[in-house]
Structure 1
Amino acid sequence: MSAPGVSAVLSIAGTDPSGGAGIQADLKSIAAHGGYGMAVVTALVAQNTTGVREVHLPPVDFLRAQLDAVSDDVRLDAVKIGMLGTASVVAEVADWLRTSAVGVPVVLDPVMVATSGDRLLEADAESAVRALLTLATVVTPNLPELGILAAEPPAADWPSALAQAGRVARAHGVTVLVKGGHLESGSSPDALVSVRADAPDGVDVVELPAERVRTRNSHGTGCSLSSALATLIASGETVAVAAALAKEWLSEALRRSEELDVGRGRGPVNHFAGSLGTLSPAARLRAGGGVREPVTSSWWRDTETVRRQTERGAFVRALADGSLAPERFDAYLAQDAIYLDGYADVLAAAALTAPDDQERAFWADAAVQCRDAEMQLHLSRLSGRAAARPWPTTVAYLDHLRTAVATGSHLRVSAAVLPCYWVYRDIGLLLHEARHPAHPYDDWLATYGDAGFDEATERAIGYAERAAAADPDGVPAAGSAFYRSTALERDFFAAPVERDLRELGVPPAR
């Protein structure tokens, strides 16, 4: 058995001694999502960030001995399958699944070609991998791998990829998480394609849009995403929610990959960017007979680095000392107005799931205040001077909040909206202290530090804490939602000064 409250996830895959892909990446991803990771090695791969040098395959009977040693002793909550290499290995894994992992969710990452272009699956094993699809819960191919699974050329565009995924899903009765990372576009969409008899063409498509993260550090992204997905499913999330959360996590891991500086080639993602530690708060609750500190306090502590980045960011510093260019301030206000409009809808959704009339009234009043007072304050100051096209950071933040609403979890929504209270209050106090009569933004800074907002923040913290106590199983995902919102607060403040305003659609100052 694994530790109480921790999902046990087995990775069946090849190795990567440089640590960015394969089993090493799987174990990091599992730990980042609060799971207990185990590993059965299918292949010993001599590789690094620049490519694969050599592959050694242990005997198949030794592979089976590893599999049996784990399943004879440990309860499995999910299985992630990566590199298999040969038809005989595929057949052995399939036989083990049929006999020793019945009913266990299986996420299959059909590793066929490495990011570097190196072949990792023998050509005669392709049909065996297609047969393995019937034993999988979800398969996570990139576009070239999806083409191989469909026995067709790779899709050249997103609609073709969705159609191809539909054919694979119907043919094998498996849900396909199709990934658009290989497309040449500014976005990086994913989609869940699953069989549904009453849907058009017999398949249901749930798209997961996202802005493309511009980085060369893509080593092991497929391994990392699939093992994160397996861990989230093992923890009780639906496949749709798990896919959305895993994609959010991977985007953040890509954004912060430059912090690692590993290798001369395609570096790895930052697996622990945004994670809340290997033992989730829910696990600590069960294992320790209580929580040593409030859950929300642990969330606040775990986001300290991100919050310091926000406070020390160029936008906050320039707004505080008065050096912020007017067109950049107006651009920020325009985006904040767009954000507030969507945020009000999320607050209204929080009211619908609140457990009592008092809390329902709190969230409903906040939604009204957000749209009728705060947003109008922004628009009146702008008087149409800034562009109103939503920026990628604005879209990403609202998509994150809407994903929390879609889960139906009041705890998740409470955690996701909380940084807009808590972080904003702290930034507001910092800015309020910077005001003086000659400050070019003194009238705006005067709106910060409001006693009513301070009281509302404390109530929002209390409601999140109460929701966590009522739903301890939901605490890990809620903590991740809180962290993601905190990171998006940072990115939202940073965008007006770190991005070229012409790129973001803001006309130059006259």
Structure 2
Amino acid sequence: MLPTRPIAFSIAGFDPCAGAGLLADCKTFEANQVYGIGILTANTIQTEDSFTALHWEEGDTVRQQLEVLLQRYSPRVIKIGIVQSGEELLTYLELIQRYAPTAFVVWDPVLRSSTHFDLTSPIEENMLWAILEQIDLITPNYPEIDLLVTGTAPPIAKAKYLSTACAVLLKGGHHPHLKGQDQLFTATAHHVFYPQKIYNTTKHGTGCILSSAIASYVALDYPLFSAIAKAKQYIEKTIGSTSTLLAYHV
């Protein structure tokens, strides 16, 4: 008999070119021997290099999807991508706490598309802290952490600030000089994950893929540090998989 695979949920948007969002998350889960289940928050009209429009799902519909699935399945990990607002995200986290309180929750705060299309409405500081108290890991890039935490402090200082609430992986893909250097901040530690190779090309959806790869390895019972290290290897493999903006997962 084949072993039972762990289950991971993705609460995210639909990207029709499958480079990011639900489809990319579930492809990443599947490639890493994790069974992925998706909860749709939004439909997007986009390709890998253009973004035209975003249509949010009704909040009640998203909550109904999530509640029905949580009543039936026991996810080890729940990865969250684009959400309409902090208020909406809190309602999803309340359901997770009710039905799957031991699930490891990863939030990849996709606040703005790579083509500068604003996705999530601004989140007030009090709301942000209420969210982070129910999150195990948040994975912002440099532009995203500046949107999450206002003020003139440098991104690393902002990451340390947020790490008093939950673990923070500050992704380095957008850094002009430290490209590919991801930094993990927790309440007690700081570690830099260096890339094995710097590619001249990039990929649409690398943030989604990295965070869902981390979720995959956590679901497979890797400690967080090891899960991030393995996810770094996975994302580098996908970046090198093609010369286009879309990645292969095999």
- Tell me the TM-score normalized by structure 1: 0.47
Letter in 1 for 2:72: D
Kindly provide the CA deviation profile for residues 272-307 of structure 1, in whole angstroms up to 9, marking residues without a partner as x.
2xxxxxxxxxxxxxxxxxxxxxxxxxxxxxxxxxxx
> Which deviates further from its counterpart, 23-32 or 126-135?
126-135
Q: Which residue of 2 aligns with 1:335?
A: none
Q: Is the 8 A contact 1:149 1:168 kept in 2?
A: no
Measure the CA separation in 1 of the matches of 2:89 and 2:124.
8
Measure the CA separation in 2 of the matches of 1:39 and 1:129.
24
Change (3 A) 1:127 1:50: farther
**After TM superposition, which residue ranges in structure 1, 4 or more long, deviate above 4 angstroms?**
124-127
Asked if 1:192 is matched to 2:191, the reply is no
Q: Work out which of the residue numbers 215, 223, 241 in structure 1 matches 2:208.
A: 223
Letter in 2 for 1:162: I
Runs of 5+ consecutive residues of structure 1 not aligned to the other structure: 156-160, 197-203, 262-266, 273-510
Q: Is the 8 A contact 2:141 2:170 kept in 1?
A: yes
Measure the CA separation in 2 of the matches of 1:130 and 1:124.
10
Q: Is the 8 A contact 1:150 1:167 kept in 2?
A: no
SS for the counterpart of 2:133 is helix
Q: Where in structure 2 are the equivalents of 1:43-82 lying within 5 Å?
A: 43-82=42-81
Q: Which residue of 1 aligns with 2:173?
A: 181
Q: Is the 8 A contact 1:21 1:268 kept in 2?
A: no
Change (3 A) 1:125 1:10: farther
Q: Is the 8 A contact 2:70 2:96 kept in 1?
A: no
Change (3 A) 1:124 1:75: closer
Letter in 1 for 2:109: P
| TM-fit CA distance, 1:186 | 6.4
SS for the counterpart of 1:135 is coil
SS for the counterpart of 2:144 is helix
Asked if 1:205 is matched to 2:190, the reply is yes
Q: Where in structure 2 are the equivalents of 1:351-430 lying within 5 Å?
A: none
| TM-fit CA distance, 1:213 | 1.7
SS for the counterpart of 2:163 is helix
Higher strand fraction (1 or 2)? 2
- Tell me the TM-score normalized by structure 2: 0.92
Higher relative contact order (CA 8 A, sep 6+): 2
Change (3 A) 1:127 1:115: farther
| TM-fit CA distance, 1:38 | 0.4
Measure the CA separation in 2 of the matches of 1:206 and 1:74.
34
Q: Is the 8 A contact 2:74 2:100 kept in 1?
A: no
Kindly provide the CA deviation profile for residues 307-335 of structure 1, in whole angstroms up to 9, marking residues without a partner as x.
xxxxxxxxxxxxxxxxxxxxxxxxxxxxx
Q: Where in structure 2 are the equivalents of 1:89-238 lying within 5 Å?
A: 89-124=88-123, 128-153=127-152, 155=154, 161-170=155-164, 172=165, 174-185=166-177, 187-196=179-188, 204-210=189-195, 211-215=197-201, 217-238=202-223
Q: Which residue of 2 aligns with 1:404?
A: none
Kindly provide the CA deviation profile for residues 384-436 of structure 1, in whole angstroms up to 9, marking residues without a partner as x.
xxxxxxxxxxxxxxxxxxxxxxxxxxxxxxxxxxxxxxxxxxxxxxxxxxxxx
Change (3 A) 1:70 1:153: farther
Letter in 1 for 2:76: D
Aligned-residue sequence identity (percent) comes to 28
Letter in 2 for 1:244: A
Asked if 1:268 is matched to 2:246, the reply is yes
Kindly provide the CA deviation profile for residues 342-368 of structure 1, in whole angstroms up to 9, marking residues without a partner as x.
xxxxxxxxxxxxxxxxxxxxxxxxxxx
* Count of aligned residue pairs for this structure pair: 248
| TM-fit CA distance, 1:88 | 3.8
Kindly provide the CA deviation profile for residues 155-184 of structure 1, in whole angstroms up to 9, marking residues without a partner as x.
4xxxxx3332111102x2x01111111111
Q: Is the 8 A contact 1:169 1:194 kept in 2?
A: yes
| TM-fit CA distance, 1:245 | 0.5
SS for the counterpart of 1:195 is coil
Measure the CA separation in 1 of the matches of 2:76 and 2:31.
16
Change (3 A) 1:153 1:11: farther
Measure the CA separation in 1 of the matches of 2:111 and 2:129.
12
Q: Is the 8 A contact 2:10 2:22 kept in 1?
A: yes
Measure the CA separation in 2 of the matches of 1:255 and 1:153.
35
| TM-fit CA distance, 1:220 | 0.6
Q: Is the 8 A contact 2:10 2:39 kept in 1?
A: yes
Measure the CA separation in 2 of the matches of 1:13 and 1:212.
28
SS for the counterpart of 2:186 is strand
Kindly provide the CA deviation profile for residues 183-204 of structure 1, in whole angstroms up to 9, marking residues without a partner as x.
11264201111012xxxxxxx1
SS for the counterpart of 1:67 is helix
Letter in 2 for 1:145: E
Q: Work out which of the residue numbers 245, 250, 270 in structure 1 matches 2:230.
A: 245
| TM-fit CA distance, 1:130 | 4.4
| TM-fit CA distance, 1:125 | 6.6
